[in-house]
Structure 1
Amino acid sequence: MTDLSCPIGIVVVSDRASAGIYEDRGGPAIEAWLANVLTSAWTPLKRIIPDEKDVIAATLIELADEHKCGLILTTGGTGPAPRDVTPEVTEAVCERLLPGFGELMRQKSLLEVPTAILSRQIAGTRGSSLLINLPGKPSAIGTCLDAVFPAVPYCIDLIGGPRLETDPAKCAAFRPKGS
Protein backbone atom coordinates (compact mmCIF):
# COMPACT_ATOMS: atom_id res chain seq x y z
CA MET A 1 0.00 0.00 0.00
CA THR A 2 1.31 3.46 -0.89
CA ASP A 3 1.79 6.04 1.86
CA LEU A 4 -0.39 9.00 0.88
CA SER A 5 0.74 11.25 3.72
CA CYS A 6 2.50 14.49 2.97
CA PRO A 7 6.04 14.68 4.32
CA ILE A 8 6.68 17.90 6.26
CA GLY A 9 10.23 18.85 7.18
CA ILE A 10 10.82 20.18 10.70
CA VAL A 11 14.35 21.50 11.07
CA VAL A 12 15.71 22.69 14.41
CA VAL A 13 18.80 24.84 13.89
CA SER A 14 20.65 25.00 17.20
CA ASP A 15 24.23 24.30 18.20
CA ARG A 16 23.19 23.49 21.78
CA ALA A 17 20.19 21.28 20.96
CA SER A 18 22.13 19.37 18.29
CA ALA A 19 24.93 18.75 20.81
CA GLY A 20 22.45 17.54 23.45
CA ILE A 21 23.26 20.46 25.77
CA TYR A 22 19.63 21.39 26.04
CA GLU A 23 16.32 19.82 25.16
CA ASP A 24 14.79 21.05 21.93
CA ARG A 25 11.37 22.61 22.49
CA GLY A 26 10.96 24.30 19.09
CA GLY A 27 10.59 21.13 17.02
CA PRO A 28 7.93 19.65 19.32
CA ALA A 29 6.07 23.00 19.30
CA ILE A 30 5.92 22.94 15.49
CA GLU A 31 4.82 19.31 15.43
CA ALA A 32 2.11 19.91 18.05
CA TRP A 33 0.81 22.99 16.18
CA LEU A 34 0.60 21.05 12.92
CA ALA A 35 -1.07 18.05 14.61
CA ASN A 36 -3.70 20.39 16.04
CA VAL A 37 -4.47 22.18 12.73
CA LEU A 38 -3.93 19.77 9.84
CA THR A 39 -6.66 17.29 8.90
CA SER A 40 -4.85 15.76 5.92
CA ALA A 41 -2.39 12.93 6.47
CA TRP A 42 1.19 14.11 7.05
CA THR A 43 4.45 12.70 8.30
CA PRO A 44 7.07 14.78 10.15
CA LEU A 45 10.66 14.45 8.94
CA LYS A 46 12.59 15.90 11.88
CA ARG A 47 16.17 17.09 11.94
CA ILE A 48 18.16 18.76 14.73
CA ILE A 49 21.28 20.35 13.30
CA PRO A 50 23.97 22.87 14.30
CA ASP A 51 24.16 26.48 13.09
CA GLU A 52 26.50 25.54 10.23
CA LYS A 53 25.79 26.93 6.77
CA ASP A 54 26.76 23.77 4.88
CA VAL A 55 24.73 21.51 7.18
CA ILE A 56 21.65 23.75 7.00
CA ALA A 57 21.85 23.96 3.20
CA ALA A 58 22.32 20.20 2.79
CA THR A 59 19.39 19.50 5.11
CA LEU A 60 17.00 21.90 3.36
CA ILE A 61 18.01 20.57 -0.07
CA GLU A 62 17.61 16.95 1.09
CA LEU A 63 14.12 17.58 2.47
CA ALA A 64 12.99 19.50 -0.63
CA ASP A 65 14.67 17.56 -3.43
CA GLU A 66 14.94 14.01 -2.11
CA HIS A 67 11.99 13.71 0.29
CA LYS A 68 9.69 16.08 -1.66
CA CYS A 69 8.43 17.81 1.48
CA GLY A 70 5.65 20.19 0.47
CA LEU A 71 6.41 22.23 3.56
CA ILE A 72 9.69 22.70 5.42
CA LEU A 73 9.61 24.63 8.68
CA THR A 74 12.80 25.71 10.40
CA THR A 75 13.14 27.00 13.93
CA GLY A 76 16.15 28.85 15.30
CA GLY A 77 19.03 30.77 13.82
CA THR A 78 16.98 33.83 12.81
CA GLY A 79 18.33 36.40 15.27
CA PRO A 80 21.22 38.86 14.96
CA ALA A 81 23.89 36.71 16.68
CA PRO A 82 26.93 35.90 14.53
CA ARG A 83 26.02 32.18 14.26
CA ASP A 84 22.38 32.90 13.31
CA VAL A 85 22.57 32.10 9.58
CA THR A 86 19.30 30.30 8.83
CA PRO A 87 17.80 33.14 6.71
CA GLU A 88 20.95 33.52 4.60
CA VAL A 89 21.06 29.79 3.90
CA THR A 90 17.33 29.64 3.20
CA GLU A 91 17.68 32.47 0.71
CA ALA A 92 20.61 30.71 -0.97
CA VAL A 93 18.72 27.43 -1.50
CA CYS A 94 15.38 28.98 -2.52
CA GLU A 95 14.43 29.77 -6.10
CA ARG A 96 11.96 32.48 -5.07
CA LEU A 97 11.52 34.46 -1.89
CA LEU A 98 8.12 35.34 -0.45
CA PRO A 99 8.83 38.41 1.71
CA GLY A 100 5.24 38.77 2.92
CA PHE A 101 5.67 35.78 5.23
CA GLY A 102 8.51 37.34 7.23
CA GLU A 103 6.84 40.74 7.26
CA LEU A 104 3.59 39.35 8.69
CA MET A 105 5.34 37.13 11.24
CA ARG A 106 7.31 40.08 12.59
CA GLN A 107 4.23 42.31 12.62
CA LYS A 108 2.21 39.81 14.68
CA SER A 109 5.14 39.00 16.98
CA LEU A 110 5.73 42.69 17.70
CA LEU A 111 2.30 42.81 19.33
CA GLU A 112 3.68 40.40 21.96
CA VAL A 113 7.35 41.30 22.39
CA PRO A 114 9.43 44.33 21.28
CA THR A 115 12.45 42.17 20.44
CA ALA A 116 10.52 40.59 17.53
CA ILE A 117 12.02 43.34 15.40
CA LEU A 118 15.35 41.49 15.74
CA SER A 119 13.95 38.41 14.01
CA ARG A 120 15.04 37.90 10.41
CA GLN A 121 12.90 34.94 9.36
CA ILE A 122 12.05 34.60 5.69
CA ALA A 123 10.16 32.21 3.41
CA GLY A 124 10.64 30.99 -0.12
CA THR A 125 10.16 28.14 -2.54
CA ARG A 126 12.40 25.44 -3.89
CA GLY A 127 10.72 23.31 -6.51
CA SER A 128 7.40 22.20 -5.03
CA SER A 129 8.50 22.94 -1.45
CA LEU A 130 7.61 25.97 0.67
CA LEU A 131 10.31 26.81 3.22
CA ILE A 132 9.46 29.02 6.20
CA ASN A 133 11.86 30.18 8.91
CA LEU A 134 10.29 30.42 12.36
CA PRO A 135 11.73 31.86 15.57
CA GLY A 136 13.22 29.52 18.17
CA LYS A 137 10.88 30.36 21.06
CA PRO A 138 7.93 27.91 21.19
CA SER A 139 5.30 30.55 21.96
CA ALA A 140 6.57 32.67 19.05
CA ILE A 141 6.29 29.65 16.76
CA GLY A 142 2.54 29.47 17.43
CA THR A 143 2.13 33.22 16.91
CA CYS A 144 3.92 33.06 13.57
CA LEU A 145 2.17 29.94 12.29
CA ASP A 146 -1.22 31.37 13.31
CA ALA A 147 -0.41 34.47 11.26
CA VAL A 148 0.82 32.91 8.01
CA PHE A 149 -0.68 29.45 7.80
CA PRO A 150 -3.98 30.54 6.21
CA ALA A 151 -1.93 31.20 3.05
CA VAL A 152 0.27 28.10 3.24
CA PRO A 153 -1.97 25.41 1.68
CA TYR A 154 -2.82 27.53 -1.36
CA CYS A 155 0.82 28.53 -1.80
CA ILE A 156 1.79 24.85 -1.83
CA ASP A 157 -1.00 24.20 -4.37
CA LEU A 158 0.41 26.94 -6.62
CA ILE A 159 3.93 25.47 -6.62
CA GLY A 160 2.72 21.94 -7.32
CA GLY A 161 3.12 20.47 -3.85
CA PRO A 162 0.82 18.08 -2.02
CA ARG A 163 -2.60 19.32 -0.92
CA LEU A 164 -2.82 20.22 2.76
CA GLU A 165 -6.19 20.53 4.49
CA THR A 166 -6.80 22.32 7.78
CA ASP A 167 -9.51 22.24 10.41
CA PRO A 168 -11.34 25.50 9.61
CA ALA A 169 -12.22 25.97 13.28
CA LYS A 170 -8.49 26.16 14.07
CA CYS A 171 -7.04 27.67 10.88
CA ALA A 172 -9.18 28.89 8.03
CA ALA A 173 -6.94 28.19 5.06
CA PHE A 174 -7.76 30.43 2.10
CA ARG A 175 -8.24 29.01 -1.36
CA PRO A 176 -10.05 30.85 -4.15
CA LYS A 177 -13.40 29.31 -5.10
CA GLY A 178 -12.87 26.31 -7.32
CA SER A 179 -9.34 25.57 -6.06
Structure 2
Amino acid sequence: MRWKVAILTASDRGSRGEREDTSAQVIRELVEEEIQGDIIEYRVVPDEMDEIMAALIEMTDYFQADLILTTGGTGLAARDVTPEATLSVIDRSAPGFAEAMRMKSIEKSPRAMLSRAVTGIRGSTLIINLPGSPKGVHESLMAIIDVLPHALSILTGREQEHADES
Protein backbone atom coordinates (compact mmCIF):
# COMPACT_ATOMS: atom_id res chain seq x y z
CA MET A 1 0.00 0.00 0.00
CA ARG A 2 1.47 3.37 -1.05
CA TRP A 3 0.96 6.47 1.08
CA LYS A 4 0.69 10.01 -0.29
CA VAL A 5 3.14 12.08 1.72
CA ALA A 6 3.84 15.82 1.66
CA ILE A 7 6.90 17.51 3.17
CA LEU A 8 6.80 21.07 4.44
CA THR A 9 9.96 22.84 5.58
CA ALA A 10 9.61 26.00 7.66
CA SER A 11 12.84 27.96 7.33
CA ASP A 12 13.51 31.63 6.69
CA ARG A 13 16.97 30.92 5.27
CA GLY A 14 15.78 27.89 3.33
CA SER A 15 12.93 29.83 1.73
CA ARG A 16 15.44 32.45 0.53
CA GLY A 17 17.71 29.76 -0.95
CA GLU A 18 20.47 30.48 1.59
CA ARG A 19 20.42 27.02 3.15
CA GLU A 20 20.19 23.52 1.68
CA ASP A 21 17.22 21.57 2.99
CA THR A 22 18.99 18.43 4.19
CA SER A 23 16.27 17.63 6.75
CA ALA A 24 13.67 17.19 4.01
CA GLN A 25 16.04 14.82 2.22
CA VAL A 26 16.22 12.64 5.35
CA ILE A 27 12.42 12.63 5.50
CA ARG A 28 12.17 11.70 1.81
CA GLU A 29 14.59 8.78 2.20
CA LEU A 30 12.91 7.38 5.32
CA VAL A 31 9.41 7.73 3.88
CA GLU A 32 10.34 5.98 0.65
CA GLU A 33 12.39 3.22 2.31
CA GLU A 34 10.48 2.54 5.53
CA ILE A 35 6.79 3.08 4.73
CA GLN A 36 6.78 2.95 0.92
CA GLY A 37 5.43 6.48 0.71
CA ASP A 38 5.27 8.64 -2.40
CA ILE A 39 6.23 12.28 -1.99
CA ILE A 40 3.39 14.11 -3.72
CA GLU A 41 4.31 17.65 -2.64
CA TYR A 42 7.35 19.38 -1.19
CA ARG A 43 7.56 22.99 -0.19
CA VAL A 44 9.83 25.38 1.72
CA VAL A 45 8.18 28.38 3.35
CA PRO A 46 9.48 31.08 5.71
CA ASP A 47 8.75 30.88 9.43
CA GLU A 48 5.48 32.77 8.98
CA MET A 49 2.28 31.53 10.59
CA ASP A 50 0.04 32.38 7.62
CA GLU A 51 2.33 30.73 5.07
CA ILE A 52 2.73 27.55 7.09
CA MET A 53 -1.03 27.35 7.66
CA ALA A 54 -1.79 27.94 3.97
CA ALA A 55 0.66 25.23 2.90
CA LEU A 56 -0.76 22.71 5.40
CA ILE A 57 -4.31 23.44 4.25
CA GLU A 58 -3.39 23.08 0.58
CA MET A 59 -1.48 19.85 1.21
CA THR A 60 -4.50 18.34 2.98
CA ASP A 61 -7.44 19.79 1.10
CA TYR A 62 -6.05 20.05 -2.45
CA PHE A 63 -3.26 17.45 -2.65
CA GLN A 64 -5.10 15.10 -0.25
CA ALA A 65 -1.94 13.87 1.42
CA ASP A 66 -2.33 10.97 3.81
CA LEU A 67 0.61 12.27 5.84
CA ILE A 68 2.31 15.65 6.12
CA LEU A 69 5.71 15.80 7.75
CA THR A 70 6.93 19.25 8.67
CA THR A 71 10.51 20.09 9.56
CA GLY A 72 11.70 23.19 11.34
CA GLY A 73 10.14 25.86 13.47
CA THR A 74 9.46 23.72 16.55
CA GLY A 75 11.95 25.22 19.00
CA LEU A 76 11.82 28.07 21.47
CA ALA A 77 12.92 30.90 19.16
CA ALA A 78 10.44 33.71 18.59
CA ARG A 79 10.06 32.80 14.88
CA ASP A 80 9.42 29.10 15.60
CA VAL A 81 5.67 29.01 14.93
CA THR A 82 5.14 25.65 13.21
CA PRO A 83 3.31 24.14 16.23
CA GLU A 84 0.93 27.11 16.45
CA ALA A 85 0.26 26.98 12.70
CA THR A 86 -0.40 23.24 12.93
CA LEU A 87 -2.74 23.63 15.90
CA SER A 88 -4.65 26.28 13.94
CA VAL A 89 -5.45 23.92 11.05
CA ILE A 90 -6.01 20.53 12.71
CA ASP A 91 -9.42 19.17 13.66
CA ARG A 92 -8.13 16.77 16.32
CA SER A 93 -4.93 16.34 18.28
CA ALA A 94 -2.88 13.11 18.15
CA PRO A 95 -0.33 13.79 20.89
CA GLY A 96 1.09 10.28 21.23
CA PHE A 97 3.39 10.73 18.24
CA ALA A 98 4.99 13.91 19.60
CA GLU A 99 5.26 12.36 23.06
CA ALA A 100 6.99 9.26 21.67
CA MET A 101 9.39 11.33 19.57
CA ARG A 102 10.38 13.52 22.52
CA MET A 103 10.73 10.53 24.85
CA LYS A 104 13.04 8.69 22.46
CA SER A 105 15.08 11.81 21.61
CA ILE A 106 15.56 12.78 25.27
CA GLU A 107 17.40 9.48 25.74
CA LYS A 108 20.07 10.82 23.37
CA SER A 109 19.99 14.51 24.25
CA PRO A 110 18.31 16.35 27.13
CA ARG A 111 17.86 19.29 24.74
CA ALA A 112 15.12 17.33 23.00
CA MET A 113 12.76 18.51 25.73
CA LEU A 114 12.93 21.96 24.10
CA SER A 115 10.90 20.64 21.16
CA ARG A 116 7.38 22.01 20.95
CA ALA A 117 6.40 19.70 18.09
CA VAL A 118 2.74 18.76 17.85
CA THR A 119 0.81 16.15 15.89
CA GLY A 120 -2.77 16.15 14.76
CA ILE A 121 -5.37 15.30 12.17
CA ARG A 122 -7.01 17.48 9.55
CA GLY A 123 -9.75 15.58 7.74
CA SER A 124 -8.09 12.24 7.06
CA THR A 125 -4.54 13.62 6.98
CA LEU A 126 -2.05 13.07 9.77
CA ILE A 127 0.25 16.07 10.36
CA ILE A 128 3.48 15.54 12.29
CA ASN A 129 5.96 18.26 13.24
CA LEU A 130 9.59 17.18 13.18
CA PRO A 131 12.70 19.09 14.31
CA GLY A 132 14.74 21.17 11.88
CA SER A 133 18.03 19.27 12.03
CA PRO A 134 18.72 16.16 9.93
CA LYS A 135 19.79 14.24 13.08
CA GLY A 136 16.65 15.31 14.95
CA VAL A 137 14.46 14.39 12.00
CA HIS A 138 16.01 10.94 11.75
CA GLU A 139 15.75 10.20 15.49
CA SER A 140 12.18 11.49 15.73
CA LEU A 141 10.86 9.78 12.64
CA MET A 142 12.50 6.46 13.52
CA ALA A 143 10.77 6.60 16.92
CA ILE A 144 7.33 6.43 15.24
CA ILE A 145 7.96 4.97 11.78
CA ASP A 146 6.74 1.45 12.65
CA VAL A 147 3.35 2.74 13.82
CA LEU A 148 2.71 5.11 10.89
CA PRO A 149 1.33 2.56 8.39
CA HIS A 150 -1.19 1.27 10.92
CA ALA A 151 -2.18 4.79 11.98
CA LEU A 152 -2.60 5.88 8.36
CA SER A 153 -4.64 2.76 7.57
CA ILE A 154 -7.04 3.56 10.39
CA LEU A 155 -7.20 7.26 9.57
CA THR A 156 -7.90 6.72 5.88
CA GLY A 157 -10.44 3.97 6.54
CA ARG A 158 -8.39 1.23 4.91
CA GLU A 159 -8.28 -0.72 8.17
CA GLN A 160 -10.50 -0.99 11.20
CA GLU A 161 -9.05 0.43 14.39
CA HIS A 162 -9.43 -2.72 16.47
CA ALA A 163 -8.49 -5.29 13.87
CA ASP A 164 -7.46 -8.69 15.19
CA GLU A 165 -3.74 -8.58 15.88
CA SER A 166 -3.23 -12.37 16.01
Length-normalised TM-score, structure 2: 0.91
* Distance (whole Å) between structure 1 residues aligned to residue 5 and residue 136 of structure 2: 20
Unpaired segments ≥5 residues, structure 2: none
Structure-1 residue corresponding to 2:137: 141
Unpaired runs of 5+ residues, structure 1, are: 164-174
Structure 1: how far apart are the matches of 2:88 and 2:8? 16
Q: Which amino acid aligns with 2:26?
A: A
Deviations 1:140-179 (A, max 9, x none): 111111111222222222222678xxxxxxxxxxx8437x
Match of 1:105 in 2: 101
- Looking at structure 1, the residues matched to 146 and 14 of structure 2 have their Cα atoms a distance apart, in angstroms, of 30
Which residue of structure 2 lines up, in the alignment, with residue 168 of structure 1? none
Check conservation: 1:16, 1:22, Cα contact below 8 A.
Answer: yes
Give yes or no for the alignment of 1:177 onto 2:164: yes
Residue 81 of structure 1 corresponds to which residue in structure 2?
77
Contact map agreement 1:5 1:43 (CA 8 A) in 2: no
Residue-pair matches, total: 164
Asked if structure 2 preserves the Cα contact closer than 8 Å seen for 1:129 and 1:161, the reply is no
Q: Distance in 1 between matches of 2:71 and 2:115?
A: 11
Q: Paired residue for 1:24, among 21, 34, 45?
A: 21
Q: Which amino acid aligns with 2:59?
A: L
CA contact (8 A) 2:7 2:39 kept: no
**Separation in structure 1 between the aligned mates of residue 150 and residue 2 of structure 2, nearest angstrom:** 17
Give the aligned residue type for 1:48: V
Deviating above 4 A after TM superposition, structure 1's stretches of 4 or more consecutive aligned residues are: none
Q: Residues 60 and 125 of structure 2 are in contact (CA less than 8 Å); yes or no, is this contact kept in structure 1?
A: yes
Amino acid at match of 1:177: D
Calculate the aligned-residue CA RMSD, in Å. 2.0
Matched, 1:159 2:155: yes
